[in-house]
Amino acid sequence: MNASFRAFLARSLPRRIPRAEGARLPIVFVAVFAVLLLAFPASRSNAAYPAAAEGPSAAVATENADATHAALETLRAGGNAVDGAITAALTLGVVNPISSGIGGGGFALVYLKKERKVLAFDFRETAPQKIDVERLLAQSGSNAPREQRGHAVGVPGEPAGLELLNLRYGKRSLAADALPAADLAARGFALGRHMTDSIAKLQEYIAVSPDLARVFFPGDHPLGFRSLVRRPELARTLTRFGAEGSRPFYAGDIGKKIVQAAKSAGGTLEESDLTAYRVKERAPLTRTFGSRTVYAMPAPSAGGLMLLEALSIFGADPSSMLGKLGFGSSEYLHMLAEVMRGALADRIRVAGDPDLETSVNEAYERALSADRMAARRQRLDPYKTHPAPEFKSQEQGTSHIVVADVEGNVVSLTTTVNGPFGARIVAGDTGILLNDELTDFSSPSDVSGFGVIGLGPNRARPGARPVSSMTPAIVLENSAPILAVGGSGGMRIASNVMQATLARLVFQMDPGACVSSPRIFVHGASPEVLVDPEIAEDVRAGMRARGEQVREERMLSSSVQMVAWDRRGPQPRLLATADPRKHGFAIAQ
């Protein structure tokens, strides 16, 4: 089955939870799917999900077909996984500006085959030295008028982060890596389904930005699916980025336009904030479970903390206690919800910028200590729900990319501008959409009930990097990669990645089923657990019997990208998949 047909299935077929209590597939669906299975057999497929794309040597998974194809062409032209990830990130900023762009930042994990090691890079945005914390906290979120939105703009990290990755580990020039995105912005691209749906839903939200409205609301009408979109100003900026690197963004005319745009919207960003920006190389957050070693992003990511807490409690292979519960059962989902609550409590209490909060890294290690995880495991009760604050101890848009090359290198990279279209501020004639990442600092409502002093370690202050849920992860078994995963969706990222990772490592599900299966989500101190509509009613009833307050919510803005390795045969096979929730696209070859 080719990648294009799988993508069609991912968009078209209903998603059902495998092994749900008493779950039944509609008769019509069973008949249709049976015919499809006869025509396109896929022995590894789980339940009613399209199987992952499969190939022997390389793979790409992103949230957009244009980005996936651009990255694949970079690999075919001699680039490696780093080059492919850079191309994909820049292309996503062109075609999916609701989620990411060169005016934002991100995290990347890089596995180098020759050196057999995983590196972590933090190019998260930083707060300006003159940050006005009071005005930032008073900002009324997505409905803030333009004169207030500038307070949320952080120093962009993506230009510096992608340039550093290219200079250290890329095989092609930065100009070659940036060319596909620049060409697409200049020649035009067909508007994808996710962007089309988002524009339709956010008409009033986008209309307050003349720059966005001019591109996506010509003639006061939202663009339709497959409409041709050109972004010539951004094309020129990306071409300059390829030719000159990040210097114009931090010590040149582009930087001046970024500062001017932020200040015109009430912000306090200065040129000195840009020149002071540095990408941080950090030690990955790592834990070994038997023959498997999991590498996740350390602070200021809180996503890695949740992922490793879950694996420390449940295990990272089929011997896990979860296997006896059955994937998707009410007890299984309840146990996951309890682990999410504990990890969210830890996030509020210990997560922060490790460069300004010197205790953060040690706090992460204490949180993940074997004794503490064992105690938390003992506290889990199949028939009791704990409010998150009892475990003692406002992000939105993102994009995730996974690229594996023929040499065995792997990149798992998450990029973001935070809220939909970031701060909805374009920097002059550059086409750069500025981020609103500073809203990720803790607010009084975030920390209420958790017993922290003030606003906790994730409080806004000059030069700080706000805590993020971004959760790029790479798993090695016997020193060889078996999984690379990450996701988008703001606060949902960590729990989404955790659920998809468990599906693969514990239940050995096909990656297509891992990312397509219905998911749950808990947030902060809320007693509710949100469930995808496809979770069967009898499963929800079982969750309620275990003390959960269940509320249905379709989580279309959150997605997971995954590449897995099947090493059971004489030659490893790469299995790549992209979440259908955002109409992602994956290719393996």
Average pLDDT over residues 212-222: 89
What pLDDT, on the 0 to 100 scale, is given for residue 307? 97
* 398 in active site: yes
CA distances from 546 to 383, 534, 540 (A): 4, 20, 10
CB 421 within 8 A of CB 98: yes
Burial of 263 (0-12, 13-18, 19+ CB in 10 A): middle
CATH architecture of 3-57+284-395+468-588: 4-Layer Sandwich (3.60)
What pLDDT, on the 0 to 100 scale, is given for residue 107? 98
* Confidence at 204, pLDDT banded by 50, 70, 90: confident
* Catalytic hit among 68, 74, 126, 398: 398
Domain boundaries, the chain: 3-57+284-395+468-588, 79-104+114-281+418-447
CA distances from 489 to 99, 349, 372, 559, 566 (A): 9, 22, 29, 6, 28
Average pLDDT over residues 299-323: 96
Average pLDDT over residues 183-195: 96
Q: Is the pLDDT of residue 265 over 50?
A: yes
- With tokens 């309840």, the residue in question is 334
Burial of 319 (0-12, 13-18, 19+ CB in 10 A): exposed
- With tokens 């038997």, the residue in question is 290
Average pLDDT over residues 470-485: 97
Best CA proximity match to 48, nearest among 479, 517, 537: 517
CB 265 within 8 A of CB 150: yes
Average pLDDT over residues 41-65: 79
Average pLDDT, the chain: 89
Average pLDDT over residues 508-513: 97
Average pLDDT over residues 473-479: 96
What pLDDT, on the 0 to 100 scale, is given for residue 21? 57
Per-residue pLDDT reduced to its tens digit, 316-352: 999 999 999 999 999 999 999 999 999 999 999 999 9
Q: What percent of the chain has pLDDT over 70?
A: 88
What pLDDT, on the 0 to 100 scale, is given for residue 396? 59
Which of these ranges, 25-29, 155-159, 266-270, 365-369, has the smallest mean pLDDT? 25-29
* Alpha carbons 414 and 172: distance in angstroms, whole number: 21
* Alpha carbons 43 and 507: distance in angstroms, whole number: 16
Q: What is the pTM of this model?
A: 0.90
CA distances from 589 to 73, 83, 110, 486, 498 (A): 12, 17, 20, 21, 27
- With tokens 């992922």, the residue in question is 307
